[in-house]
Structure 1
Amino acid sequence: MSLQRRIENSWQGLSPSERKIAVLLEQNQQIVVSHSVAEIATMASVSKATVSRFFRSLGYDDHMAARLELRSSRESGVPVQLTSITPPEALQEEWQNLVQAHKDFDRQESALADAVLAAENIYILGFRNGYPAARHLRQQLVQLRSRVSLLPAAGQTLAEDMVDIGARDLVILMGFRRRIKSFKPLIQGLNRQLGQQQLVLLTDPTGSGYGQWVGTTVICPLGAQQPMDNYSVVFSLISRLVNTVAERAGSLKRIQQIKTLYEELDELDL
């Protein structure tokens, strides 16, 4: 249960002094992680004993238990602000994540690009925050090769499309933290249907455990210092992959055909 929900559920039973703490923390939950009991007491103009009593009133053993819960929530993807971070510090974290992810991708890039070109069909699956990345990857690859599909279709279930996926196809899944509950059974089902080597997973470090069912796991750190996840690594690796595929594809015939159709249909403002 979140801190906010605990406060809401306990509000009627809180004393006036405890409610002062509740109001303070509702405005900035970061305080629980970044400040001590004494500091919270000073900020709320209450005693340290009142702060300790407040956390017990919410169902925590103590302030430390609340702090650990908030840290764990952020690591699982819950958008809460845990620390103060300046734009340069955020940029530095992003840069470090990009450098590490690209270094790790060095050993995966070649085989993955070959698999993309060799597959009879490519199916790209993305849910929640993984959907925009899946859609972007499909839009890039479809300029380079045919038979690239995005699943599931809007408002539809997966079973009708999964039944057609064969052993010569490649499935690329996007599964980032706070995944849908059916993500694990989906990967396990695809593993039984296709085998491990035909499955590729792009995920954050919390999804590394799914690697036992896929042939390639591409880890994309999303950051932890800011309340909202940062998907720059995801889109950067997608860009790297599709450009490698483009180089290895060699022929620009398909791109030229698409360009001709753009002109004939007058679709783009060029």
Structure 2
Amino acid sequence: MSSASPLLVATDLDGTIVRSDRTISARTVAAFERIEKAGAQFVLVTGRPPRLMGPIAEAFGHRGTAICSNGALSYDMHTEEVVAEHGIAVPTLTEVAALLRAAVPGIGLAVEYAKELAGDARYEAGDWDSDTTVIRPDDAVLFGRPAPKLVGRHPELTADELVELAHPAVGHLVTVYHSNGERLVEAVAQGVSKAFALAELAARHGVAASETVAFGDMPNDLPMMAWAGTSYGMANAHPAVLSDVDHVIGGHDEDGVAAVIEELFPQD
């Protein structure tokens, strides 16, 4: 990366620019306005599905495109519509569900669509879904259409432990990861990741990886940060992130990303 300001800024949301109280500070919003004023672009790259993007879109004035569901969905924040989708195909989804249930006894499975959440009888909704009605169809319906993201929650095992069990069982069929959801493992289609979707977006706009910077805090951010020319990990990040990024910056509750953007895009 040269000393010139980047042409594209990519950032994770939760644990990166979204604070512990689930808000985005006025300083952060103002920092991202600097990017657009400089003629560069920013993209929000998150594990969240579009149904949880309303407050984020509002905070940023319904501008730009967000990469959601860990790269499986692209979401226009102005129209609030999905503009691209890379789902897990039905035969693969059915096979992965069976293998996960065998490898991780007691796991509950759900499919996270753009606007709804459907789960089996064992699936326990998390804090993010407290206002969401979980649809409870039978397996034929639950796994009967392509899934942007498959999630599994266990009553006891941690997210790291779930990935350790799930990856050997289904990693040849889907991309397995976690984004720090409590006792939650996640999967998207094979080859799909934050890096995959970000590279697609950058190519459409003629931006190279070397002209991109990326911010994140969780292992699912690592492919995106490895692709970008310069990577920044939050002080509150997962140990795997802290050991792998180019720079460690202030935490999400300290507006660490905003502080870096203010340096990258100084005002006259």
Q: Which has the larger radius of gyration?
A: 1
The structure whose residues are more often strand, as a share, is 2
Between 1 and 2, higher relative CO (CA 8 Å, sep ≥ 6) is seen in: 2
